Amino acid sequence: MDFKNNYQKGKKGERIAVAFLRTKGYKMLFTNWRHSTLEVDIICKINTTIVFVEVKYRSTDKFSNPLDAIDEDKIENLAIAAGHFTEQFQHSGPCRFDIIIILPSQGNLYKIRHYKDAFFPGWE
């Protein structure tokens, strides 16, 4: 497995996602926000809602659905990180968890799927 290449792809995906969100009116607060070993790809704000965004960049979805990479452990870790974030920054307003999937298209174009309210931690 080529970790350096995967890391670079991940960073590229995050840059694309940030640009996409900005065009939709989101205000960027943090990228790669960390609490201990936990990380949130993007934390942004739309109106009064804090949005925690998980970004998945794939070269193809031919072999698996990129959403499948977001398992229960990932959701739990994002929820824990979000809890620390809201506590640290004393945010008591609305929050949500989004997923952005990015797939290359033709040339330098990308297919971007934005799943708002993609999951609710603690709900089964």
C-alpha of 30 from chain center:
11
What domains are there in the chain, each with its CATH number?
A: 3-115 (3.40.1350.10)
**CA Rg value for the chain:** 14
Please tell me the predicted confidence (pLDDT) of residue 69. Answer: 80
Query: Residue 47 and residue 94: Cα distance in Å, rounded?
Result: 10
Query: Residue 15 and residue 68: Cα distance in Å, rounded?
Result: 22
At 84, list the tokens: 């620390």
Amino acid at 65: N
Query: Residue 44 and residue 30: Cα distance in Å, rounded?
Result: 7
Mean pLDDT by 10 residues, the chain (124 residues): 66 93 98 96 97 88 71 92 96 95 85 92 59
Query: Residue 108 and residue 118: Cα distance in Å, rounded?
Result: 27
